[in-house]
Each structure stands twice: as structure tokens, then as C-alpha cells.
Amino acid sequence: MAAGSSQGGRERTHTLETQTLEYADAASRGVPETDFEDGTELTGGERMVLNMGPSHPATHGVLRLVLELDGEEIARADADVGYLHRGDEKIAENMTYNQFVPYTDRLDYLAPLANNVAYAMAVEKLMGLTLPPRGQYIRVICCELARISAHLLGMGAYAMDVGALTVFLHTFTEREKVYNLAEALTGARFTTSYTRVGGQSRDLPPGWLDGVRRFCDEVSVALGEVDQLLTRNRIWVDRTRDVGVVSAKDAIDFGLTGPNLRASGVGYDVRKARPYLVYDQLDFEVPMGSVGDCYDRYLVRMEEMRQSVGLLRQCADRIPGGADNAAREPINVDDGKVMLPPKEKVMTGMEELIHQFILVTQGVNAPPGEVYFGAENPKGELGFYILSRGGGTPYRLKIRAPSFVNLGILSHMLPGHMVSDVPTILGSLDFVMGECDR
């Protein structure tokens, strides 16, 4: 990331450092529909209330913003969420651990492979399971492909919100290539459900890593083109620089994680702070901003994609067993009570047949206890808290959705900005309402 730009007397530096809500409707609160969540009524004068959403192209999903305007300037803002609530956490209590994997696809549905990994690792932490090295490398590859895919869509939609349609075409072309890789690996392009507690559903198909290497080369070229289109574009800079500024203190106070936190100059990345899988064996940097505005959030995500490309190349070169696993390196834990046995053994062995029957009907048997596991997902720290009383289903599952947490700062960010800045700020936060409302 480049250093050395300033505006309004402030020096901007970019460095790389390693390092249950209850909702009540308006009628039950006894206030008009257009008033704010705390029941405060408007005092009249020249101010007006504007409802933005929940069906609005700039809100990137079913998000409702209640804006109090003083002319074109936002005096107050309130975010109303929950329109896409599905009750995922309650559903988990009535499902076996593996049955809940498809529901994680639908959290941040732009990065289903990464969601699968975070959830499976929470259950594995509860059960004390550790994957073989090849299985861990496969998961890192899945997570970094998901990160690039999610950032490509986020950057394309963000640029389109500001008026740069060409960028959207570039990013979606590259994102389609990630879908092709996901389809070859999992059989699905979007909702992959690839991860299992204790491993993956299958090994890498022949030639798949060669496709990953080609993608790394092609997306690197595309990122260079996006950089040329936006980074020094006068209109883009004017629309994003010093807009939606979040200080490091505010970012920490509001619990921001991911690129939105690092753009404010806080170098916290779960992959570095609490390494998991084989991230501690890989070489990568944590991009950070210094001002914490919309422009910094763009720069951080651009550099994150470049770092992810480097991680993919390292994994492709170092994965045990190589591309086609001629040495038959295991990818799953060697435990018939956790992973389904091979089909050929089920047809000939009584013990394997019993294991399959128990796993399909009752699921893995987790011990009593409670755990929390957080992973560095594209939107921030995606965490799963599991409380188990033993058996095949969780007693309680809590999802720490980074999109939900990151949206909490809107009421602090928006006041003082013009209405025309709202799409820019929303696009820079890069949230997914499926994850927020869950």
C-alpha cells in the first residue's frame, strides 16, 4: 500500500504490519413509525425523517435506515435490522453438528467455504480433534479463495454504488472463476457445504491446484487493473477520502473486526493473534490504514486480496502429498466415530456399517463443555460459541456475526455526512444481511 498522501493538513500513511436483541414494533412502543428506536420524537423545525430501505439498492440487503435530516445533512441515524432473521441459532439446537453445516453457508453467503471451516473448527475444539496437515492446508486454501471472492464482490458493489460500473465488471469476471473452482471441488458453486466435523467431504480433484495457480495469476492482473481504475481516480478519491472516518478508539469501542478495524490502524487479525490451521507456518502481512475512512477501507481490502493470492501460492507449493496426493496423505481425522468410513468398507465390515449408521442417525458424540472459536473471515471475526451437555446436538449455539457487530457503528458514523455519502459508507463497511440477521 502506498504511503505519502495528505489532505486537510493530515498526513496519511499506509503500512503493512505483521501482527440477543429484542425488537418491538412501533405500535407497541407507542411512537410513530418514523421515530427512532429509543422512542425520541422529533422536535419540529426544518428537520425531516427519511426512511431508507429496507428495500433499497444501496443497503445491500434488507437493511432499514431511519435518518433525521437537517437539509441534506444527516443529524441522526438509526439502523433497523432483523428483516432476514431465520433463527439459525435455535435451529442448531435441533440438529446434529454436521447437519448444521449447510446453514453456515447462508451466513455470509459470499464466503460459504470460510463459514464451514469456522463452524467445524469450533466443534472440533469441543471434541479435541486436530486435522492432518493436508486437511489443514486444504482448509486454508478454501478460506483464502472465499476471502478473495467476497472482497471481489464487495469491491465491485462498492465501486458501483459510487458510480464506477466498469470495476464491477472486472471483479465479477474474476469472482466467477472462484465459483468454477468451488464447483470442481465441492459440486456446488454457491452453497458448498464442503467441510465436515473432522475433515472434508472429499480430497482435491486431479488438476485442481493447477487451476488455483492459474487463478492466482489472472486475479493478480485484474487487481492491477482495478487499482489503475480507482486508487488515483480523482472522483473516487473525492467521494471516499475523509468520508466515514472511524478512529482507532471508536473502532475498538464498537467491537469492529476485520478490514474495517484494520483500516483504522488497529493491526488485529485472528490469523496472527490466535493462529489456527497452518497460518503460523505461512508468510503473509496484515494490511492497515491510518485514517479509517472509506478510502482506507478500500485500500485494505485490495491489499488483503493480494496477500491471499500469496497464501494460495504457498499452500499450492507446500501441501503434503502434492496436487494429486499420490502418497495418499490423509485429509480427515482417523476416527470411525467422527468421519464416515469408506463406502467399500461399509459394504464388507460390520464395525464400519455400525459407525455409519450411528453417524447418520445420531451424529458425532460431543462431550459436555463449552468452547468459543473465532476465525478471520472476510467480514471480520466469525465466532461460534457452543455449549454442550453431551450427545449429538448442541444445547446452545451462539454466532458472533461480524456484519451485525460492524453495523452497530452506523449511528456513530453517519451523522454529519450528506445523504449522498450514505451509499459510500455502507459500501465501505461491506456487510451481508444474511449473516447480520442470521
Q: Would you place residue 355 in the very low, low, confident or very high pLDDT band (cuts 50, 70, 90)?
A: confident
Q: Which of 26-40, 233-247, 327-341, 402-416 has the lowest mean pLDDT?
A: 26-40
Give me the pLDDT at residue 24, please: 46
Q: Give ∠ CA 388-128-276 in degrees, rounded to 5.
A: 110
Is it the case that residue 391 has pLDDT exceeding 50? yes
Give me the pLDDT at residue 29, please: 43
Give me the pLDDT at residue 405, please: 92
Give me the pLDDT at residue 13, please: 52
In this predicted model, what pLDDT tens digit does every residue of 263-315 receive, in sequence order?
A: 999 999 999 999 999 999 999 999 999 999 999 999 999 999 999 999 999 99
Average pLDDT, the chain: 86
Distance CA 122, CA 139 (A): 14
Is it the case that residue 350 has pLDDT exceeding 70? yes
Is it the case that residue 34 has pLDDT exceeding 80? no
Q: Which of 18-32, 311-325, 335-349 has the lowest mean pLDDT?
A: 18-32
Give me the pLDDT at residue 32, please: 46
DSSP annotation of 341 reads P
Q: Give ∠ CA 216-218-223 in degrees, rounded to 5.
A: 90
Give me the pLDDT at residue 7, please: 46
- Pick the more confident residue, 180 or 190: 180
Give me the pLDDT at residue 45, please: 57
Instruction: Retrieve residue 180's grid coordinates.
Output: 468454477
Nearest Cα residue to 73 out of 421, 428, 425, 426: 421
Measured over the CA atoms of residue 354, residue 355, residue 360 and residue 361, the dihedral's sign is positive
Measured over the CA atoms of residue 262, residue 433, residue 271 and residue 384, the dihedral's sign is positive
Q: Would you place residue 363 in the very low, low, confident or very high pLDDT band (cuts 50, 70, 90)?
A: confident
Instruction: Please state the rounded mean pLDDT for residues 104-124.
Output: 92
pTM confidence score: 0.86
Distance CA 325, CA 133 (A): 12
CA distance readout (Å), 367 to 96, 128, 187, 283, 390? 13, 9, 32, 35, 5
Give me the pLDDT at residue 56, please: 80
Give me the pLDDT at residue 47, please: 82
Q: Would you place residue 40 in the very low, low, confident or very high pLDDT band (cuts 50, 70, 90)?
A: low
Q: Would you place residue 165 in the very low, low, confident or very high pLDDT band (cuts 50, 70, 90)?
A: confident
The residues, ordered by sequence, that sit 6+ positions from 258 with a Cβ below 8 Å of its Cβ are: 376, 377, 378, 379, 380, 381, 402, 406
Q: Would you place residue 4 in the very low, low, confident or very high pLDDT band (cuts 50, 70, 90)?
A: very low
- Within 10 angstroms of residue 217's Cβ, the number of other Cβ atoms is 10
Give me the pLDDT at residue 10, please: 52
Is the CB of residue 298 less than 8 Å from the CB of residue 259? no
Instruction: Please state the rounded mean pLDDT for residues 52-73.
Output: 84
Distance CA 95, CA 89 (A): 10
Instruction: Please state the rounded mean pLDDT for residues 37-66.
Output: 74
Instruction: Retrieve residue 54's grid coordinates.
Output: 429496507
- Calculate what percentage of the chain has a pLDDT beyond 70: 90
Give me the pLDDT at residue 12, please: 56
Q: Which of 133-142, 318-327, 399-408, 422-431 has the lowest mean pLDDT?
A: 318-327
Half-sphere exposure of 266 (CA within 13 A, CB side): 23
Instruction: Retrieve residue 354's grid coordinates.
Output: 455400525
